[in-house]
């Protein structure tokens, strides 16, 4: 037996994440569920339907310790019937078939019906993908202990595109990866371990993910070759695996590929030879991957090539690719993370926060309808607290997709606990007022506010080849929660956390209570001991973990917080600052621009204030910094206490994995507390009112 197999066996629960399908020990639940789950029938035939059936078989065999019978769907003993509504005549079971009219193509029906002999459960999708999602919905109900003997559930995903962006490099590394190396690439080769990719596809389909780009948005020389005939057959093997679980494969591409691959001397998007090159290349890709999703593109940012090199704009660049993809129904996902990383931050007229809006807003309406602009949730870079990007909703005539980051680049890198769902809920619930009150981010990215042709949400993945996928076992909750939230943004953070804990750790009440509370409190805890009041950054350059109050890659241009002996914060007001606040719709524009109205949690993002400025809580800014940094350390100590209480209730691997991470977090929190408090004590000369030790 290989060491890899032994490792998986020793950490079986960690590897399986929330798809453990533990044996049901409760006798009453066992009898109720078994009466429904042990006779399965599938109607129709497709690779996705087969995946749904195999998932049911695997789950039922594990939970009931016996294999289900697979019967003909006409058999009156069938207790679960799964298929699409094209193949299952709902009226035969007394169900109004028009119910399917209100579903989109990935929607489904779970309904208890009587087949003339017995009650049975229909799992009927609008398409085979819908049937797969219905299967996972049923299994989720069982794992969380819900009744399934009288169901009527009609559900569709709220967002059309539900995507993951891998930041994997072909050398096997993962940019901003905190969970080991890539599961897709190693030593500049494409992996042949399709079993692990299949397991990843199962995890993603269980929470409704339907698209993935498998390589880093920063496409270097080796990765440029992914679109060549040498590597496309191997990319196709990966795409085949994802296809079986309803997931389309995308590739991040190098805008300068015509040059990098040695065919042309220019990548000018208006050059006819360049246009032809891309059209030929796209035909080649679709010959290998008939349902290829399209391209993800990072251009003209952080030294990546783009249309600016040829005095063209981003509409020119993206439209050229869109024209090549259009005959195959492919799309271009064009990232709006475009800014001059060499700009002088000391120049108040130059504000990185403004960059995306300034670059793209004037181009609204100039993009082809198979171009989607991908916009980070905040204007900077996935900080622990920043305002919603004013780009979201600003372009009425251009498809938009929102970008989150599941990988905790600036939130503890999966060493420190940070459950991101509450933060994402804040983003989705935010009212932009783009078309008046009620213009929430949810309504923009689901396409309903502006009737976008393409819309949805993407996120940077947090997985690697660590045995538990995410380094910190508790970070699995962010991947799970991302999928569940973008499927249904109405779910609460509490509901999502509870689902994940029950499916992952079982139904013990202490386990459920402690881990749920740890998750829900964690983002605020992390914010307390790092960068409260919206100032952001203050991290070590390059690797972005741990405090460095004046640190950032481009620190030669000054700091982001503009702290001096008198005060701290960035003036982004219309009258005296960078004018960034003016990019928002009213009344948000007025609120952020006003020192009196600006929410305290974003105060230092929008305003430069004296250390003695009083917050709405009555605390001064400097005292708030002292208090939160001391409090944050105490809160991490309490996390350790809560986790230690579970030692006899959780397997050794996962218990020790999380405990080790919490100890790292405590050391990190103390370092943040001491460095930040010391820095601002020395900068301001103002002592802590509580006379605590500041070095």
Rg (CA), the chain: 26
Taking the C-alpha atoms of residue 232 and residue 222, their distance in angstroms, rounded to an integer, is 13
CB 112 within 8 A of CB 121: yes
- φ and ψ of 331, to 5 deg: -125, 160
Six token digits for residue 59:
């789950």
* Cα atoms in the 13 Å half-sphere on the side-chain side of 524: 12
Taking the C-alpha atoms of residue 425 and residue 491, their distance in angstroms, rounded to an integer, is 9
CA angle 198, 199, 202 (to 5 degrees): 90
Six token digits for residue 691:
């006379």
C-alpha 111, offset from chain centre: 31
Q: CB burial class (10 A; 0-12, 13-18, 19+) of residue 201?
A: buried
Q: Which residue of the set 409, 431, 446, 524 is catalytic?
A: 409
Looking at residue 168, what DSSP letter applies? B
Q: CB burial class (10 A; 0-12, 13-18, 19+) of residue 195?
A: exposed
Looking at residue 436, what DSSP letter applies? B
Integer distance in angstroms from the first to the last C-alpha of the chain? 54
Mention every residue, 6+ apart, whose C-beta is less than 8 A from residue 515.
474, 497, 501, 505, 646
Q: CB burial class (10 A; 0-12, 13-18, 19+) of residue 451?
A: exposed
Taking the C-alpha atoms of residue 412 and residue 523, their distance in angstroms, rounded to an integer, is 10
CB 64 within 8 A of CB 37: yes
Taking the C-alpha atoms of residue 81 and residue 578, their distance in angstroms, rounded to an integer, is 61
CB 674 within 8 A of CB 695: yes
Six token digits for residue 8:
């998986």
CB 512 within 8 A of CB 501: yes
CB 527 within 8 A of CB 676: no
Taking the C-alpha atoms of residue 420 and residue 418, their distance in angstroms, rounded to an integer, is 6
Mention every residue, 6+ apart, whose C-beta is less than 8 A from residue 295.
250, 251, 252, 253, 321, 325, 330, 331, 332, 333
409 is a catalytic site residue? yes
381 is a catalytic site residue? yes
Q: Which residue of the set 87, 302, 495, 651 is catalytic?
A: 302
Taking residue 574's Cβ as centre, other Cβ atoms within 10 Å add up to: 15
Name the β-bridge partners of 84.
125
Taking residue 345's Cβ as centre, other Cβ atoms within 10 Å add up to: 18
Q: Which residue of the set 381, 494, 550, 671 is catalytic?
A: 381
CB 39 within 8 A of CB 119: no
Six token digits for residue 534:
């919206």
Mention every residue, 6+ apart, whose C-beta is less than 8 A from residue 208.
106, 133, 136, 157, 162, 483, 484, 486, 487
Taking the C-alpha atoms of residue 505 and residue 488, their distance in angstroms, rounded to an integer, is 23
Q: Which residues are catalytic?
A: 302, 381, 409
């Amino acid at each position: 037996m290989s060491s890899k197999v032994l490792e998986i066996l020793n950490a079986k629960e960690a590897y399986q994440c929330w798809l453990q399908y533990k044996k049901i020990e409760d006798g009453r639940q066992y009898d109720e569920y078994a009466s429904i789950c042990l006779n399965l029938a599938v109607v129709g035939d497709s690779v996705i339907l087969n995946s749904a059936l195999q998932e049911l078989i695997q789950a039922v065999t594990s939970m009931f310790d016996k294999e289900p019978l697979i019967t003909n769907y006409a058999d009156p003993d069938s207790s679960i019937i799964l298929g699409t509504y094209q193949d299952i005549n709902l009226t035969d079971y007394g169900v109004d078939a028009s119910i399917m009219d209100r579903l989109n193509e990935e929607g489904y029906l779970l309904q208890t019906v009587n087949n003339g002999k017995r009650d049975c459960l229909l799992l009927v999708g609008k398409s085979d993908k819908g049937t797969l999602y219905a299967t996972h919905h049923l299994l989720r109900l069982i794992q969380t202990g819900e009744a399934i003997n009288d169901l009527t559930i009609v559900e569709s995903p709220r967002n059309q595109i539900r995507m993951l962006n891998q930041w994997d490099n072909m050398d096997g590394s993962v940019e901003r990866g905190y969970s080991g190396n890539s599961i897709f690439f190693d030593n500049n080769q494409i992996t042949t371990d399709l079993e692990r990719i299949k397991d990843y596809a199962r995890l993603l389909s269980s929470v409704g993910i339907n698209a993935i780009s498998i390589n880093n948005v920063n496409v270097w020389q080796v990765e440029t070759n992914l679109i060549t005939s040498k590597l496309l057959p191997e990319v196709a093997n990966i795409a085949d695996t994802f296809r079986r679980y309803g997931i389309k494969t995308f590739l991040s591409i190098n805008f300068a590929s015509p040059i990098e691959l040695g065919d042309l001397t220019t990548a000018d998007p208006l050059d006819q030879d360049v246009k032809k090159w891309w059209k030929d290349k796209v035909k080649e890709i679709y010959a290998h991957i008939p349902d290829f999703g399209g391209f993800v593109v990072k251009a003209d940012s952080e030294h990546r090539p783009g249309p600016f090199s040829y005095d063209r704009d981003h509409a020119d660049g993206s439209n050229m690719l869109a024209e090549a993809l259009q005959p195959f129904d492919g799309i271009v996902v064009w990232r709006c993370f475009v800014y001059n990383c060499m700009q002088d931050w000391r120049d108040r007229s130059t504000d990185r926060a403004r960059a995306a809006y300034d670059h793209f807003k004037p181009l609204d309406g100039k993009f082809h309808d198979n171009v989607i602009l991908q916009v980070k949730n905040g204007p900077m870079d996935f900080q622990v607290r920043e305002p919603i990007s004013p780009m979201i909703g600003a372009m009425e005539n251009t498809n938009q997709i929102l970008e989150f980051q599941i990988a905790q680049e600036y939130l503890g890198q999966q060493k420190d606990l940070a459950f991101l769902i509450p933060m994402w809920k804040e983003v989705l619930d935010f009212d932009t007022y783009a078309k008046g009150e009620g213009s929430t981010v949810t309504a923009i990215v689901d396409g309903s506010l502006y009737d976008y042709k393409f819309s949805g949400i993407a996120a940077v993945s947090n997985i690697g080849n660590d045995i538990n996928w995410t380094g910190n076992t508790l970070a699995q909750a962010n991947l799970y929660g991302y999928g569940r939230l973008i499927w249904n943004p109405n779910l609460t953070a509490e509901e999502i956390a509870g689902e994940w804990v029950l499916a992952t750790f079982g139904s013990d009440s202490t386990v459920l209570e402690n881990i749920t509370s740890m998750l829900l409190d964690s983002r605020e805890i992390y914010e307390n001991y790092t960068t409260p009041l919206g100032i952001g950054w203050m991290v070590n350059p390059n690797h972005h973990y741990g405090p460095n109050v004046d640190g950032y890659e481009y620190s030669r241009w000054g700091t982001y917080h503009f702290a001096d002996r008198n005060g701290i914060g960035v003036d982004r007001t219309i009258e005296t600052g960078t004018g960034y606040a003016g990019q928002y719709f009213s009344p948000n524009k007025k609120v952020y621009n006003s020192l009196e109205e600006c929410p305290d949690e974003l105060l230092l993002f929008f305003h430069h204030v004296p250390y003695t400025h009083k917050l709405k809580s009555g605390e001064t800014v400097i005292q708030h910094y002292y208090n939160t940094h001391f409090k944050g350390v105490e809160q991490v100590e309490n996390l350790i206490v809560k986790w230690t209480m579970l030692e006899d209730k959780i397997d050794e691997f996962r218990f020790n994995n999380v405990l080790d991470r919490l100890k790292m977090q405590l050391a990190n929190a103390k370092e943040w507390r001491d460095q930040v408090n010391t820095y601002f004590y020395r900068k301001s000369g103002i002592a802590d009112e509580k006379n605590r030790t500041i070095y």
